[in-house]
């Protein structure tokens, strides 16, 4: 069984046991979090698509770590004018492990 969740303006396909690096989420290491914006749930036989999300379905996860991503270089250049600007950026990330996809009325 897998689900598609939305967090930080992005969509992620997740299964139980999946480890993801998401944009910074509030919480400390080993805290449990719940994603309530589930867009799709599918298993071998059934697929349920939300409009825009599925009511009552949640995905629970545990925070493994709060980290910084690799450094990205932003270089702006305009020819013939001598304009150039170099900047760096490191995105703050949260590493999470998906524990369970919870569908009301379905016991695993």
What is the CA 18 to chain-centroid distance, rounded?
11
Report how far apart, in Å, the C-alpha atoms of 61 and of each of 12, 28, 68, 81, 90 are: 13, 13, 20, 51, 24
Residue 50 within any structural domain of the chain:
yes
Whole-number pLDDT of residue 4: 96
Q: Is the pLDDT of residue 108 over 90?
A: no
Domain count for the chain, please give it. 1
Does some domain include residue 108?
no
Summarize pLDDT for 50-84 with one digit per residue, the tens: 888 899 999 999 999 999 999 999 999 999 999 99
Mean pLDDT of 89-108: 89
Q: Please tell me the pTM assigned to this model.
A: 0.83
Q: Is residue 107 part of a domain?
A: no
Domain that holds residue 10: 2-102
């Amino acid at each position: 069984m897998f689900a598609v969740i939305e967090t930080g303006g992005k969509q992620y396909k997740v299964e139980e046991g999946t480890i993801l690096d998401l944009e910074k989420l509030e919480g400390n290491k080993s805290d449990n979090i719940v994603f309530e914006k589930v867009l799709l749930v599918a298993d071998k036989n059934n697929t349920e698509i939300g409009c825009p999300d599925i009511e009552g379905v949640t995905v629970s996860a545990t925070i493994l770590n709060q980290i910084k991503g690799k450094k990205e270089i932003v270089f702006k250049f305009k020819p013939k004018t001598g304009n150039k600007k170099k900047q760096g950026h490191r995105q703050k990330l949260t590493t999470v492990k998906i524990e369970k996809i919870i569908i009301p009325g379905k016991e695993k």
